[in-house]
Amino acid sequence: MDKTYTGVMNRKNEIMKKSMGMDYSSYEINDFAFDYEKMMNDTELSFEKIKEIQLSNKVGNTPLLELKNITKLVRNNSKKGYGARIFIKDEACNASGSFKARRASISAYIAKQRGYKGMAAATSGNYGAAVASQAAQYNLKCIILQELFDSNYICQPEIEEKLRKCESYGAEVVQLSVGPELFYCLLDILEDTGFFNASLYTPFGIAGVETLGHELAEQCMKMTGKFPEHVMITHAGGGNLTGTARGLLRAGADKTQIIGASVDLSGLHMASDNDFNKKSFTTGHTGFGIPFATNPDRVDVPRNAARSLRYMDKYLLIRQGEVFFTTELLAQLEGLERGPAGNTSLACAIAYAKELPEDHIIIVQETEYTGAGKHPQSQLSFAKNQGVKVLNGSPKDSINGKSVIIPSNISEISYIEKPLDELKKSYIKNVKSNFKNLDITIPENKKFLMDELNIKDFEKLKNMFMEA
């Protein structure tokens, strides 16, 4: 077969169909719109069955913990009567140490049921560890493709830590440099091996995260007598937010505010060889959060099940130094040493909680495991070696790629709100670029776009469409 880039990419739909056993064409309404709910309900598994699968493979039923000391500190730095109670869902208790075990557990089950001999996934690391962990329990082979280094073969300690984690579960890790070759290599491996494509963006993966939102709602009701007013979710590719939001809705928590949180890495390009090691975070940042929200089908499956703009009520950004500070704060005040991704949403939650009444509850939706390469000391030492200045002071003065500024106290932690209407207009720009002369008055297109952007007023949608 033609193994050139063009040759493999021309066969991508055929490869994808064989590697998942899914016919995405059955969900297509027209060239633009597709039946999202039909796709999500086509996993062949009930919600109760998904919970059963996860619990039988060391996933789920993780604790919800109140951060009493951090809440007290927030209230000491808020005006009287303000400072919401902060809780954290400790997903580091899952096998492999992150919420992504919920996604991987369902993909592994499906792969085994359908007779695949192994699984493959392209990932920065945490999901790779989850896939490898679940594959090991099902006696499936596992290949993880990981963007690891720049053209000088220099790799961040956090990514190396994730590589070690994947290999510890018996996975073969294919190490790649940063760039567009990741998807090509995944397709090539899927075609050669006949393995299951354990993509982050399948309905199986997102359905697996729904249990997290449902658990969170039930636990909060049991502990406090009500659903949380706010849930803060680290936002990268969108599956975390999408699945959690759907689980909250399933539990009846339809008034809970869904807030995305990302590290602000504006000014750095994630596919740039030069910028790759100028950042101190490998996921949970705007380099993933914004493009995946505004162009969700730019992934390794024909239709992405992670569609965050359908569910997001706010999108808050935090700076790198504030996350490092929060990581140490969590360890030293609450005795919880956790990795950077969940601490992104915790940093945002601390800043946001200052503005909320004391009787409000804000839940940080996940934690992740930590390890030598994920510690602030490792990442900051690496940053210094790359010529990035590490300073104490006001995080607002930091310049991505040039400086990381760590605050001296909690009062200096603040968020940046990214207006959702900006993201929605960017989504529309992408739609207009990808679908020339799209008629949004056609009922199927109108409904799909209004659902995609969570817009109830068609006049508002028409105005956005004209302005974009």
**Residues in contact with 236: Cβ distance below 8 Å, sequence separation at least 6, in sequence order:** 262, 283, 284, 285, 288, 289, 292, 341
SS3 of the chain: the string is: CCCCHHHHHHCHHHHHHHHHCCCHHHHECCCCCECHHHHHCCCCCCHHHHHHHHHCCCCCCCCEEECHHHHHHHHHCCCCCECCEEEEECHHHCCCCCCHHHHHHHHHHHHHHCCCCEEEEECCCHHHHHHHHHHHHCCCEEEEEEEEECCCCCCCHHHHHHHHHHHHCCCEEEEEECCCHHHHHHHHHHHHHCCEECCCCCHHHHHHHHHHHHHHHHHHHHHHCCCCCEEEEECCCCHHHHHHHHHHHHHCCCCCEEEEEEECCCCCCCCCCCCCCCCCCCCCEHHHHHHHHHCCCCCCCCCCCCCHHHCCCEEEEECHHHHHHHHHHHHHHHCCCCCHHHHHHHHHHHHHHCCCECCCEEEECCCCCCCHHHCHHHHHHHHHHCCCEEEECCHHHCCCCCEEEECCCHHHCCCEECCHHHHHHHHHHHHHHHCCCCCCCCHHHHHHHHHHHCCCCHHHHHHHHHHC
Please state, in angstroms and rounded to a whole number, the distance separating the CA atoms of residues 263 and 321.
10
Alpha-carbon span 88 to 222, nearest angstrom: 15
Strand partners, 88: 65, 364
The number of beta carbons lying within 10 Å of the beta carbon of residue 63 is 11
Closest CA to 342 of 87, 72, 68, 145: 87
376, 343 contact by CB (below 8 A) = no
- What residue has token string 């720009």? 429
- CA 344 and chain centroid, separation: 11
Judging by beta carbons within 10 Å of its beta carbon (0-12, 13-18, 19+), is residue 153 exposed, middle or buried? Answer: exposed
What was the pLDDT predicted at 406?
Answer: 98
Please name every residue paired with 232 in a beta bridge, in sequence order, or none if there are none: 259, 364
Q: How far apart (Å, rounded) are the C-alpha atoms in residues 168 and 466?
A: 52
Which pair of structure tokens corresponds to residue 215? 């658990």
pLDDT at 43: 82
Look up tokens 């962990």; give the residue: 133
Token pair for residue 13? 């739909």
* Tokens read off for 120: 């493959």
pLDDT, position 319 = 98
What size, in residues, is the chain? 468
Chain-centroid distance, C-alpha 24: 23
Q: Which pair of tokens denotes residue 189?
A: 């491996």
Token pair, residue 90, equals 């400790």
Phi, psi of 440 (to 5 degrees): -85, 0
Domains of the chain are 5-53+98-202 (3.40.50.1100), 55-97+204-417 (3.40.50.1100), 425-467 (no CATH)
Which of 305, 355, 315, 311 lies closest to 232, judged by CA? 315
pLDDT in tens, 302-354: 899 999 999 999 999 999 999 999 999 999 999 999 999 999 999 999 999 99
Evaluate whether 44 touches 106 at the Cβ level (below 8 Å). Answer: no
Alpha carbon distance 105, 248 (integer Å)? 20
pLDDT value, residue 254: 98
Each residue's pLDDT tens digit, 149-204? 999 999 999 999 999 999 999 999 999 988 778 889 999 999 999 999 999 999 99
For residue 107, the model assigns a pLDDT of 96
Taking each helix axis from N to C end, the angle separating 458-467 and 420-434, rounded to the nearest 10 degrees, works out to 70
Give the residue among 344, 188, 150 at the shortest CA–CA distance from 261. 344
The parts of the chain modelled with pLDDT lower than 50 are none
- In the structure encoding, which two tokens stand for residue 355, read together? 């503005």
